[in-house]
Homo-oligomer: A and B are copies of this chain.
Amino acid sequence: MDKQEQILKAALRLFVEFGFHGTPTSKIAQEAGVSNGTLFHYYKTKDELVVALYVYIKTKITGCIASGKEEGETIKATFKRMFVSSMYWALENPIEFRFTQQFHSSPYLSMVSHEEILKQTRYLMDFMQEAIDARVLKPLPTDLLFTLISSHLAGINEYLVASKVDNEKQKEIINHSFDLIWDMIT
């Protein structure tokens, strides 16, 4: 019954299907089962809604990646756990993932404050820096490492979504693609 969340969910579906400007706010409100006024009560402008949706989704991904840490895990194990959970998150939430991709390569990205981006990436950045200090990862700039891994993930995801392989084969590809990227960065 949380209208705010219903608005975000409706917006997500429509944005991915019709693009940002291709979906009118009126349709978002309709799809969410709320009035036009309610939408603008929560989000002053359409731009604000788009950015809020991005932050909402990014927070969910970040939370998912950060969770599940176990004591005494090696750096490699932590890395793999995060890699694999990112991969499965993207596979299980294809619309959310597509949205983030769409958002990233759109002019909206520049509307996200620098602090918000830092907040979302700090956990991973810190972890990678530690892994470099521990002489596990190659001493590359952390943002280069981050970009390499992100784009690798996006690439594998694109392939897995396009070519409908069975679950077993999928698992195999994910494991293999982890080995590939691991060899690349260590």
Contact = CB atoms under 8 A, between A and B. Distances in A.
A10 to B, nearest CB: 16
Interface string A4-19: 0000000000001111
Given A101-B105, A105-B101, A154 B151 contact: yes
Interface string A139-174: 001011001101110111011001100000000010
A159 B183 contact: no
Nearest to A183: B183
Interface of A: 16-22, 98, 101-102, 104-108, 141, 143-144, 147-148, 150-152, 154-156, 158-159, 162-163, 173, 180-181, 183-184
